[in-house]
Every structure is written in C-alpha cells, then in structure tokens.
C-alpha cells in the first residue's frame, strides 16, 4: 500500500501544470493556445518570456527530482539496490506521465524533457551533468532547443553504459526507453528541422 501511495503521489507531482498555471495566473494566457501549443518550459520562454520560462523550467525539473526522492520517506532497509532503482524509475515514469497527461490540466501537458532531467539528476547526477552540458552547447550553437534535447536524449544511454559503465539492466532499459520517448515526442520538431522550418530561440536576445 505504501508503494502504491507513492506511485499516485509521483503522478500528482508530475501533473502540476506549471506552465499553464503561471500563464493563466500571471498573464491570463494559456500557453497551450500559443506558439507550439505545448505546456512546457520552451514554449513558456517563447510565449511569456525569460522569467516565467525560467521558473517553469526550474519547477518542472524539480518535479522529476522530487518524484524519485520520495524513497527517503520509505523504510527500505530490507530492499536490494536493484529493487530501490526499480522503484525510483517507476516513480520517475509516473512523474513523466503526470507531466505529459496532467490530471490538473485536462490531460494536455508538455513533452517531459525537463521532468526527465530532474529524474536523471536524482538518480544519476553525473550523467545529467554531461547530457545537460551537451544540450547547452548545441542549443547555444544552433538556437534550436529541440535539437539540443534530442541529442542529449540520444546521448544518455551511451553515457550511462560506456562512460559510467552502468550494468544495471533497469537503468539501461530506462535510458533507452526515455531516449526513444523524447525522440517520439519531438517527431514534429524533427520534420521541421529537416525542412529548415523549426523555430529558433535566442536566450541572449532582449
């Protein structure tokens, strides 16, 4: 029962529609009706500006981190390390589902990239640092957020296995599934990138 309760809590945490609530409360705007129509940090930056975008990004990352950190409230002295990782990944997946299908916002959410980053920070902080650094380099060089996110997602399984030498099957499968999910969520962005029609975003432009 304790585990089931935390699974529900993780989903509800992920379901907090940060971009939607901030947009409506502060600006009277539903970001899902503007820009890319996505309830995520990138579209918030594009529609509402840098400050609300940064707030949404920080909170969405925090949602994933908190979800996998719920284990601190469970007595797991008799659990094996593999069992703990399984539960962390399960809670993280529930948070991503909550972010993409939020019960508090009509099940119309974001793509889950920022929340996924929070999950990786909570489980594998060094892998998160590498992938985020690659994301920033590509984003700054090209001004394409989507390209940075896709590249970082593809890199994650390779960092996990070849750099961190992680042989835990659950983490390996999770990293591959997560990368595939991010790529699938960005399929329209990929088409626009191929056609040269993808929107750019310059954080340094006033």
The DSSP code for 186 is T
pLDDT recorded at residue 99: 97
The two structure tokens encoding residue 156: 């994650």
pLDDT of residue 204 exceeding 80, the answer is no
Task: Decide if 134 contacts 84 (C-beta within 8 A).
Answer: no
Of 131, 128, 130, 103, nearest to 118 by C-alpha is: 128
Share of the chain above pLDDT 70, in %: 96
Query: Span 69-96, mean pLDDT?
Result: 84
Of 84, 110, 86, nearest to 97 by C-alpha is: 110
Determine which of 16-25, 73-82, 93-102 has the lowest per-residue pLDDT on average: 73-82
pLDDT of residue 199 exceeding 80, the answer is yes
Please report which residue ranges of 108-198 form alpha helices under DSSP H: 113-123, 125-142, 145-158, 169-185, 187-195
Of 82, 76, 119, 78, nearest to 98 by C-alpha is: 119
Report domain extents, the chain: 2-195
> Dihedral of the CA atoms 144, 148, 149, 152 (nearest 10)?
170
pLDDT band at 2 (very low <50, low <70, confident <90, very high): confident
Structure confidence by residue, pLDDT tens digits, 116-162: 999 999 999 999 999 999 999 999 999 999 999 999 999 999 999 99
pTM beyond cutoff 0.75: yes
Share of the chain above pLDDT 90, in %: 81
pLDDT recorded at residue 177: 93
pLDDT of residue 76 exceeding 70, the answer is no
Cα(14)–Cα(74) distance, rounded to whole angstroms? 19
Per-chain mean pLDDT for the chain: 92
The two structure tokens encoding residue 56: 């949404």
Determine which of 7-11, 26-30, 135-139, 202-206 has the lowest per-residue pLDDT on average: 202-206
């Amino acid at each position: 029962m304790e585990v089931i309760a935390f699974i529900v809590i993780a989903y509800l945490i992920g379901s907090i529609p940060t971009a939607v609530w901030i947009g409506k409360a502060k600006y009277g705007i539903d970001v899902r009706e503007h820009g890319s129509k996505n309830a995520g940090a990138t579209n918030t930056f594009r529609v509402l500006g840098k400050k609300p975008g940064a707030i949404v990004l920080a909170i969405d990352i925090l949602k994933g981190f908190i979800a996998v950190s719920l284990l601190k409230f469970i007595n797991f002295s008799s659990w094996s390390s593999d069992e703990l990782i399984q539960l962390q990944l399960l809670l993280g997946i529930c948070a991503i589902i909550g972010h993409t299908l939020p019960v508090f916002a009509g099940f119309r959410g974001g793509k889950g990239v920022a929340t996924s980053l929070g999950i990786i920070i909570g489980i594998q902080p060094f892998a998160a640092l590498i992938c985020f650094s690659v994301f920033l380099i590509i984003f700054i060089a090209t001004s394409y957020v989507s390209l940075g996110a896709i590249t970082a997602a593809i890199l994650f399984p390779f960092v996990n296995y070849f750099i961190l030498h992680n042989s835990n099957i659950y983490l390996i499968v999770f990293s591959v599934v997560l990368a595939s999910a991010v790529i699938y969520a960005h399929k329209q962005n990929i088409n626009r990138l191929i056609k040269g029609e993808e929107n750019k975003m310059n954080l340094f432009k006033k």
